[in-house]
Amino acid sequence: MPDDAWSQLSSPFVDEAYASVKGQVRTAVLHHQLMDHLPGPPASVLDVGGGAGHQSFPLARAGYEVALLDPSPAMLARAEERLAREPPEVRARVRLVCARGEDAVAATGGERFSAVLCHGVLPYVDRPTPLVTALCRCVAGGGVVSVMALNAKTLAVRPALARRWTDALGAFDAAGERGVLEVDTRADTVEELGERLRAEHVEPLAWYGVWLFTDWIDLSDADASEVEEVVAVELEASRRDPYRQLSRVFHLVARKQLDIDRPD
Question: DSSP characters for 188-236?
Answer: B-HHHHHHHHHTTTEEEEEEEE--SHHHHS--TT--HHHHHHHHHHHHH
Note the pLDDT of residue 1.
39
Domain ranges in the chain?
Answer: 10-256
Average pLDDT over the chain, rounded to whole?
A: 93
pLDDT digits (tens, 9 = 90+) for 218-229: 899 999 999 999
Mode of pairing for the β-strands spanning 44-48 and 65-70: parallel
What does pTM read for this prediction?
0.93
Helix axes 21-35, 224-238, angle to 10 degrees: 50
Of the chain, the percentage scoring pLDDT greater than 70 comes to: 93
Note the pLDDT of residue 262.
53
CATH fourth-level superfamily of 10-256: Vaccinia Virus protein VP39 (3.40.50.150)
Task: Give every strand in the sheet of 65-70, ordered side by side.
Answer: 94-98, 65-70, 44-48, 113-119, 139-150, 249-256, 202-209
Q: Mean pLDDT, to the nearest integer, of 39-55?
A: 96
Statement: residue 37 has pLDDT above 70: yes
Q: Longest C-alpha distance within the chain, in Å?
A: 53
Distance CA 92, CA 142 (A): 26
Note the pLDDT of residue 82.
95
Statement: residue 263 has pLDDT above 60: no
| Cβ partners under 8 Å of residue 141, min gap 6 | 112, 256, 257, 258, 259, 260, 261
Give the range among 7-21, 49-63, 131-145, 234-248 with minimum mean pLDDT.
Answer: 7-21
pLDDT digits (tens, 9 = 90+) for 163-177: 999 999 999 999 999
Statement: residue 144 has pLDDT above 50: yes
Check if the beta carbon of residue 185 is closer than 8 Å to that of residue 248.
no
Q: pLDDT confidence of 8, banded at 50, 70, 90? A: confident
Note the pLDDT of residue 178.
86
Statement: residue 200 has pLDDT above 90: yes
Q: Is 96 helix (H, G, I), strand (E, B) or coil?
A: strand
Note the pLDDT of residue 4.
76
Q: Is 262 helix (H, G, I), strand (E, B) or coil?
A: coil
Write the CA distances from 254 to 89, 135, 232, integer angstroms: 30, 11, 24
Q: pLDDT confidence of 261, banded at 50, 70, 90? A: low
Q: pLDDT confidence of 25, banded at 50, 70, 90? A: very high
